[in-house]
Structure 1
Amino acid sequence: MTRIIAGFAGSLTLKVPSAGTRPTSDRVREAIFSALEARDAIDGMRVLDLYAGSGALALEAISRGAASAVLVEKSFAAVQVCKANAALVAGRAGRGERPSIQIIGKPATSYLSSALDTFDLVFIDPPYEVGGLELDHVLEGLVPRLAPDAVVALERSSRTPAPAWPAGLALDKVSRYGETAVYWLDPETPDSRSG
């Protein structure tokens, strides 16, 4: 069972696609959001959720005060689940506080190649079978879409090698939770390159 952990939609149970996605466990999601709250990286942020699946990561951020979220998912069935979950979360918001949630039904690379918005907080949680080459393209396409102080959380299997970081993204740290590794990335500035 996947649920919203905290915020105005806390304890709300979310629908999960029947196949093709790998929802982030509540334990890992709680750890991710504890780290984000410690960095003050949720409230008022513009969120992008690539490989959204059920939308749990972006919708958790909305519940905890993010200003807006774009959920990108190529699976038609998962898009329908994201829409249903977004409606459930939006229904829990207070009067006059309708959160801005947009669901895009296309592959992550396709979305990034045409996107114009910039984002403060990005979740990338691809199925483990997504290969390194696709992930390289996604990370390269993401760089111009990041706000200067953006935070990127990338989930991968702890058994797979670390991705190659493109110019414009720097690894901050890696957190491991059993089978899951979370790579924390920041936009690379000219100052951080010279160090």
Structure 2
Amino acid sequence: MRVTGGIARGIQLRVPTKGGVRPATDYIREAVFNSLAAFIPQAKVLDLFSGTGAYALDSLSRGALSATAVDLSIGSEIKANMAAVAKSMGVPELPMKTITGDAMRLDLTPERFDCIFADPPWEFWETKGAEIAQAAVAYANPGSGVRVILEAPGGWAVPVPLGWKLKKVIGKGKGQPAASILIRES
């Protein structure tokens, strides 16, 4: 697993060996970022269910203004990944913070974001899909340019909250990772 683009492209990311972490694949992240290329620079990014921090770190490598990673267990891997990306980018510290907490809570931070990634454990979609989507859009800045990216198993219809619409689905097929990009309805 690696950073797929930007200044830190190619930097290897550490993945926890325990805890059932299923990180977003390089392929799906690269495809998502190709779709968001003009949107990421200067964006404030939120990475829910962050695990390794891959979406946040890839965003910073590609010019995001700041990133916040939220996970129930912020482990040593994400801290090591942050240090490796910072070193590759030639900065002492990334404009990134981590929050240990439930990504579906709506009171984790008062901040609002331009780009929100949510990549929960796939089994969550069966019982908590609407809650995941609602939590992700709750952190959106009020403007129309916000993007919410929900990663789920391919073939799974992610719930689209009221006031939002599905812009694009990126992914190969059933059982493989797929990313749904949501935008505000105009």
TM-score w.r.t. length of structure 2? 0.88
Residue matched to 1:83: 79
Q: Which runs of 4+ in 1 moved over 6 A?
A: none
Match of 2:172 among 170, 177, 189: 177
Secondary structure at the counterpart of residue 152 of structure 2? strand
Distance 1:12 1:59 in 2: 10
Q: Is the 8 A contact 1:45 1:66 kept in 2?
A: yes
* CA positional deviation for 1:133: 4.0
Residue matched to 1:107: 102
* CA positional deviation for 1:98: 4.2
Match of 2:135 among 141, 149, 164: 141
Residue matched to 1:30: 30
Distance 2:125 2:31 in 1: 25
Distance 1:54 1:9 in 2: 15
Secondary structure at the counterpart of residue 116 of structure 1? coil
Distance 2:158 2:25 in 1: 22
- RMSD of the alignment, in Å? 1.8
Is 1:50 aligned to residue 56 of structure 2?
A: no
Residue matched to 2:13: 14
Q: Is the 8 A contact 2:28 2:178 kept in 1?
A: no
Unaligned runs of 5+ in 1: none
Secondary structure at the counterpart of residue 21 of structure 2? coil
Match of 2:118 among 124, 133, 151: 124
Equivalenced residue count is 181
Unaligned runs of 5+ in 2: none
Higher Rg = 1
Match of 1:70 among 68, 71, 77: 68
Structure 1 or 2: more helix by fraction: 1
Deviation track 1:83-113 (CA, whole Å, cap 9, x = no partner) reads: 2211211222235x84311111111012x33
Q: What percent of counterpart residues are identical?
A: 36
